Amino acid sequence: MENNPKPTAGEQLQSAKTTATEKFETFKTEAGERLNSAITQLDELKDQLVAKAQEVGRDIDIEGLKAQATEQFETTKVATAETLTNLQAQAETTFAAAAAKADELADVAEDKFDDLKAEATVQLEAAQVKMDELKAEATVQIEAAKEKAKGLWKQFFGE
């Protein structure tokens, strides 16, 4: 039979906290990668737009179009970065709150465990005292029964 003890509440909470930390770090990494990818794609689209405009015709104001496209794409990049930053901030806040709650619950679980251990110790000590009292009472009763038996013996047999 394997000795595979059940994890304590504190260990379970720590495990959940570790998992949440890993997920949060993965989220931050993936968000950064997606932002960089989006910025690269926006730059490529801008370049393609300018190239297409140059290819299509000479009567188009290429410099004006290029400036306008650059401005719009830069605005989009900034908005995307701000959105991502806001999402990361929300994730950090959520994670921090969850981690704090997990720590609090772990502390409560440990306190409760300590309280339960202390209560169990008190109960065991009380049971031991009660058993000692019963043992003493049994000893008294046995001695009383022996004396009574001796008395009956003497009464019947006169010894």
- Taking 70 as the pLDDT cut, the residues of the chain under it are 1-4, 7-10, 13, 57-60, 156-159
Structural domain contains residue 128:
no
Structural domain contains residue 25:
yes
Q: Which two tokens stand for residue 142?
A: 């046995």
Alpha helix stretches (DSSP H) within 4-158:
9-56, 62-157
Which position has the token pair 């104001």? 61
Contact 88, 31 (CB under 8 A): yes
Can you give the residue range of the structural domain that contains 109? 9-115
Structural domain contains residue 82:
yes
Contact 26, 82 (CB under 8 A): no
Structural domain contains residue 131:
no
Q: Which residues contact 43 (CB under 8 A, 6 or more apart)?
A: 73
Contact 81, 35 (CB under 8 A): yes
Reported pTM? 0.48
CB atoms within 10 A of CB 105: 17
- Structural domains counted in the chain: 1
